[in-house]
Chain A
Amino acid sequence: MVSLNKNSTEELKDLARSSMTSQGRRTKNKPAEKLPGDRNSRHATAKEFFRNYTVVLALVTVTIFFAISKSSTFLALGNFQSILTGQAVLFVLALTLTVALGAGEIDLSIGGGLGFTSVLIAYLTSVRGISIPLSLLISLLAMFVVAAINGFLIVRIGVNGLITTLAMGTVLDGLSQAISNSSTIGNIPHRILLIMQERFLGVGLPFWYAAAIGIVIWYVLHHMQSGRYLYFTGEGREAARLAGIKVNRIRITSLFVSATGAWFAGLVLLGQTGAAQSGTGDPYLLPAYAATFLGAATIKPGRFNPIGTFVAVLLLAVGTTGLQLFGVADWVTNVFDGAILIVAIGLATLVGK
């Protein structure tokens, strides 16, 4: 403590001297005082690394664990190929959901939308005999209507998005029951099966579609002006609005993206299973959220990002597959997905601080 009466220039010199001595190991050109957010020690860098790559490390750990304990089955190339192919629906759904969440919107209608789309396309093509392109167009327009209603209610009217989209999902579930008459629609046109069941490098085409979607989303969100605007809208809507960003348009667009994602995921599901039934989309809702939230805790912690989402879907897939190889009962999958979502949200909250 320096007394008040002391000459202040002298104090400044004192301060300068003491900071000179504490300079120690720092690199020569750096200013002496501690900069905000400065993490100079090796320990802190390691911590930073773990913080950014928790989920990636978890994926590696889980993979190694299963590879060692179930090497014969798990390590087979075919197993990896089938994991990627089998998760295509989730990839599409989670990646597009990342856009909506990034813009600060929540969309719980994607599960219902997924099931609705697959039932609708199946109905139009196999029951009604409408051509495939027209059926796809009609179903896509139907999902646009859904997005428009969601967007209108949430953005224009200001209704709570959680409730609106939850209700919308239920409406879509009901509609798919009505269309399918609560029974399974089979006899799907061969061409739909073909585009969804062909393989490239041993991995089903849907995965490659999903990868392409992921790359586009990554490009837009991370490398384009619109992506910045989207994140600003999600993280500080009022600040974004005052900066002249078209906040409402971005929010509505993000809901259109998630609805379109649900549409495409529905098409993939239909093509992969070769049959449609109401309610098949709902089991994908929770894993999609688990993946996006887990993804938000990695790569760019605190932000919903497509690469994180991608890694997280892989983690979920490897986890479930590995557990199945151990022959655990089906219910474990649900417990696993649910637990992951809870862990993910916890992690995302901690990391966001």
Chain B
Amino acid sequence: MGEVHALLGHNGSGKSTLIKIVSGYHRPDCGKIRVNGHEICYPTNALSLKDYGVGFMQQDIGLVPTLSVLENLRIGLLQTGVLGHICWRKEREKVSDLLSSFGLNLSPDWPVSRLSASERSIVGVVRAFQNISGGDASEANGGLVILDEPTASLPEAEKTRLFDVIKNVASRGVGVLLVTHHLEEAVEFADHVSVLRDGRLVASGPIQGHSYDTLAELVVGHAVEKFIERTRKPNLNNDVEALNVSDLAGNVLNGVSFSVNKGEIVGLSGLMGAGHEEIPFLVYGAQKARRGTVSVCGTAFRPDPINARRLGMALISGDRIRAGGVLTASIAENVTLPVLATLTGKFRWLRVGQEKSLVQSLLKRLKVRIASHHLPFSVLSGGSQQKVLVGRWIGSGPEILLLQQPTAGVDIGASQEIIAMLREFADSGGTVLFSSEQYEDVANLSDRVLVLRDGKIVCELQGDSVVAERIVSSCHGKTDTRQGEVCA
């Protein structure tokens, strides 16, 4: 019987570095790693780690969407006949057995692209497991499966299913190292827990006696303050309408109308794929709307990033790698991108001195410490990157801030700072519209929450009903409300 061991720590705590060392991506400076009593010789790679009994599932799972489940699972292990041909029939049986032993009812021939998000991550876990067990559904003789943020892209509801599989893997005698940002996962599912902070192990022991709060304290390094309820209670009658959306439709989104007032923070939530995540992009014009109109401060506008910027909108995409900061450009260049026009002097020469002081003051305010702001953006941890991105846009003085998943993949410390920044922005009269599936954060941040299901708004929560439980239950349609009805 193996255990589930959770490895916690915020961005930049050394979690990913540790995993990268174990996986052979980085070479250790010193120290040893033993698996099943055997010391791993470095340098190493995934193939030889398999022989040590270490299997991995990386954060992006690493499945090839166009290939079948079978091919993805068995790549490198395919059984061949005398002539070197693949024994597809045997393989198919084997994979079917393996999958059904994990309660997964899939055809091995389905392309991975056909699977749901949770099924994909389950296939990823199963692959990591069978890589070390040699493909037999039966007991493995020890070994370790390392899962890096397996729930990162999963909606709340599907996490339980994945954790059933993870427990199942552990019950077959394999140790599971669960790397995660989500402290509640550790509390709920792990047997042991280790916490890293600033590259050191600050705690390690059984999960018993730990709660979300004690773990949060260990991760952050100081007691986590509970958010005080936002003082501003938007008065819908007197407020100035900042943004009005009517009958907006996108890929999933199907005719959504709502408005947001000046100084208000509106959260858009739902299960993954419910359409809420499209709204910031459609409003900003980064994605073409099928139909619908958007008006800003009473005047209709044609959604398009350049127009949107001119009208004082800013969009922070949830896809930080591709559409957030530019990783190869320097931190300073990323920070000043939205305000470059104000930094030009004679002959449109960029005033470097002014840029430097601006960057330094912003980084200081965001508490992002860095050796030099000429370093590439990629040296910052995920949490710092997100802080800088939110900070730079707020610093550019927008009227309306549109965000997608502002706190996804961000450690608890950074996400609290981001929430605080956004609140401050709204308090000073800014308008915030964001989509998220981090229900706790949605509840913490929003004055009002719109919950979507199948591309339509199914519920509007405000006032005291803005709590995570209510959001989650409306996502699943447990509340008895009809479309568009305010269920406060």
Contacts and interface: CB of A to CB of B under 8 A. Distances in A.
Interface residues of A, number: 39
Contacts of B218: 4, 8
B25 to A, nearest CB: 12
B201 interface: yes
Contacts of A236: 322-323, 325-329
Interface stretch (A55-63, A227-235, A254-262, A324-332): A227-235
Contact of A224 (B204, B306, B308, B350): B350
B317 interface: yes
Point out which of B284, B309, B343, B348 has the most chain A C-beta atoms below 10 A from its C-beta. Answer: B348
A240 B315 CA distance: 11
A295 B203 CA distance: 49
A4 B369 contact: no
B372 A37 contact: yes
A335 interface: no
Given A35-B371, A37-B379, A228 B328 contact: no
A4 B325 contact: no
A36 B379 contact: yes
A302 B326 CA distance: 13
- Interface majority SS (helix, strand, loop, mixed), chain B: mixed
A241 B306 CA distance: 8
A160 B240 CA distance: 48
Contact of A303 (B210, B222, B284, B328): B328
B205 A12 contact: no
B371 A242 contact: no
A232 B344 contact: no
Nearest to B207: A4
Point out which of A5, A34, A37, A232 has the most chain B C-beta atoms below 10 A from its C-beta. Answer: A37
A34 B371 CA distance: 9
A259 B228 CA distance: 60
B324 interface: yes
Contacts of A198: none
B200 interface: yes
Contacts of B380: 36
Nearest to A40: B371
Contacts of A8: 217-218, 221
Contacts of A24: none
B28 interface: no
Contacts of A1: 201, 204
Interface string A38-64: 111000000000000000000000000
B58 interface: no
Given A12-B221, A231-B329, A244 B305 contact: yes
B360 to A, nearest CB: 14
A77 interface: no
A241 B349 CA distance: 23
Contacts of B326: 232, 235-236, 239-240
Contacts of A36: 12, 370-371, 375, 379-381, 384
A274 to B, nearest CB: 38
B198 A232 contact: no
A184 to B, nearest CB: 45
Interface in B344-368: 344, 348-350
B202 A11 contact: yes
Given A4-B205, A239-B325, A224 B344 contact: yes
A229 B309 CA distance: 15
Contact of B198 (A6, A15, A225, A228): A15
A238 B325 CA distance: 10
Q: How large is the interface on B (under 10, 10 to 19, 20 to 34, 35 or more residues)?
A: 35 or more
Interface in B258-313: 284, 286, 305-306, 308-310
B477 interface: no
B337 interface: yes
Interface string A1-29: 11111101001100100000000000000
Contacts of A303: 328
Given A232-B326, A235-B326, A239-B326, A223 B350 contact: yes
Point out which of A2, A33, A39 has the most chain B C-beta atoms below 10 A from its C-beta. Answer: A2
A260 to B, nearest CB: 21
A70 interface: no
Nearest to B373: A37
Contact of A2 (B203, B324, B341, B375): B203
B350 A238 contact: no
B35 interface: no
A87 to B, nearest CB: 29
Contacts of B12: 36
A352 interface: yes
Contacts of B210: 4
Contacts of A223: 349-350
A33 B197 CA distance: 12
Point out which of B202, B324, B350 has the most chain A C-beta atoms below 10 A from its C-beta. Answer: B202
A242 B328 contact: no
A12 B222 contact: yes
B340 interface: yes
Interface in B384-427: 384
B338 interface: yes
Contact of B337 (A2, A232, A238, A302): A232
B305 A35 contact: no
Given A235-B326, A244-B308, A5 B205 contact: yes
Nearest to A244: B309
B324 A239 contact: yes
A31 interface: yes
Contacts of B315: 242
B91 interface: no
Contact of B306 (A31, A38, A238, A246): A246
A243 interface: yes
Interface in B163-200: 193, 197-200
B323 A238 contact: yes
B460 interface: no
Contact of A38 (B305, B317, B349, B371): B371
A36 B371 CA distance: 7
B437 interface: no
B482 to A, nearest CB: 36
B306 A37 contact: no
Contacts of B148: none
Point out which of A8, A229, A243, A302 has the most chain B C-beta atoms below 10 A from its C-beta. Answer: A243
Contacts of B370: 35-37
B402 to A, nearest CB: 10
Interface of A: 1-6, 8, 11-12, 15, 31, 33-40, 223-225, 228-229, 231-232, 235-236, 238-244, 246, 302-303, 352
16 contacts: A1-B204, A4-B209, A4-B218, A34-B199, A35-B371, A36-B12, A37-B371, A231-B333, A232-B329, A236-B322, A236-B326, A236-B327, A238-B319, A239-B326, A242-B286, A244-B308
Given A224-B349, A225-B341, 4 more contacts: A2-B203, A3-B205, A4-B204, A243-B337
For the complex of A and B, 5 pairs with smallest distance between CB atoms: A244-B309, A236-B326, A4-B205, A38-B371, A37-B379
